[in-house]
């Protein structure tokens, strides 16, 4: 979740790493500018934990690793660094640097009203340049709805939408899961709309 610019100056990656180490909150680095990350809701947190638990259990014993929003993703061939809600890498090259990965096969973002347009637009535009990325998953925190951008074998991006009763298939890691498991213990606001 990205908020406003935290600083007006330009940062190199090295300056950014050193500066952020002393900050109380996380920041993304995009085109030399740092952006503070905002907090989330109970639903946002519960959904992240549900997905992380499902993926972690599925990947146990494999060479793949799942990370939460405490680990940065370096946008391939750039000096940009983001904090997706979840990322998965199966690439040995990602064992080199302790502060970030560069070759995720799966990225998950739990949407909020403030970040949805960015997550669907500019953020995906940056992520999809990485040939290792197979699934980019956008999970609603307001309703049972998941949209996934999936790169097929021809290299084309397909948009798959999942709703209640659907099985969500993450081909990047070979996982099929009922959408209801993603939303376990999540309560949606059911207040009637005002006329």
Domain-embedded: residue 30: no
Domain-embedded: residue 139: yes
CB 103 within 8 A of CB 130: yes
| Confidence check: pLDDT of 193 > 60 | no
Percent of the chain past pLDDT 70, that is, above it, reads 93
- Number of domains forming the structure of the chain: 1
Distance CA 13, CA 22 (A): 15
| Confidence check: pLDDT of 33 > 50 | yes
Domain range enclosing 140:
41-182
| Confidence check: pLDDT of 80 > 50 | yes
Distance CA 25, CA 38 (A): 8
Q: How confident is the model at residue 2 (pLDDT cuts 50, 70, 90)?
A: very low
Query: The whole model's pTM is what?
Result: 0.91
Average pLDDT, the chain: 92
Domain-embedded: residue 24: no
Mean pLDDT value of segment 60-78 = 96
CB 88 within 8 A of CB 172: yes
Q: How confident is the model at residue 4 (pLDDT cuts 50, 70, 90)?
A: very low
Domain-embedded: residue 3: no
User: What phi, psi does 162 have (nearest 5°)?
Assistant: -120, 140
pLDDT of amino acid 191: 58
Domain of residue 155, CATH code: 3.90.1570.10
Domain-embedded: residue 64: yes
User: What phi, psi does 138 have (nearest 5°)?
Assistant: -115, 115
Domain-embedded: residue 143: yes
User: Diameter of the chain by CA atoms?
Assistant: 56
Domain-embedded: residue 54: yes
Domain-embedded: residue 63: yes
């Amino acid at each position: 979740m990205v908020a406003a610019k935290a600083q007006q100056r330009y940062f190199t990656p090295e300056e950014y790493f050193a500066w952020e180490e002393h900050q109380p909150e996380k920041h993304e680095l995009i085109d030399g500018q740092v952006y503070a990350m905002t907090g989330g809701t109970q639903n946002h947190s519960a959904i992240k934990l549900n997905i992380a638990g499902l993926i972690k259990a599925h990947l146990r014993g494999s060479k793949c690793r799942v990370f939460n929003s405490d680990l940065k993703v370096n946008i391939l061939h750039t000096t940009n660094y983001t904090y997706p809600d979840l990322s998965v890498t199966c690439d040995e090259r990602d064992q080199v640097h302790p502060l970030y990965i560069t070759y995720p096969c799966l990225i998950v973002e739990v949407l909020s009203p403030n970040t949805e347009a960015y997550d669907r637009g500019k953020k995906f535009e940056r992520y999809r340049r990485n040939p290792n990325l197979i699934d980019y998953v956008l999970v609603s925190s307001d309703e049972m709805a998941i949209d996934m951008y999936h790169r097929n074998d021809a290299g084309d991006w397909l948009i798959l939408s999942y709703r209640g009763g659907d099985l969500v298939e993450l081909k990047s890691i070979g996982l099929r899961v009922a959408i209801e498991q993603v939303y376990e213990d999540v309560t949606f606001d059911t207040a009637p709309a005002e006329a």
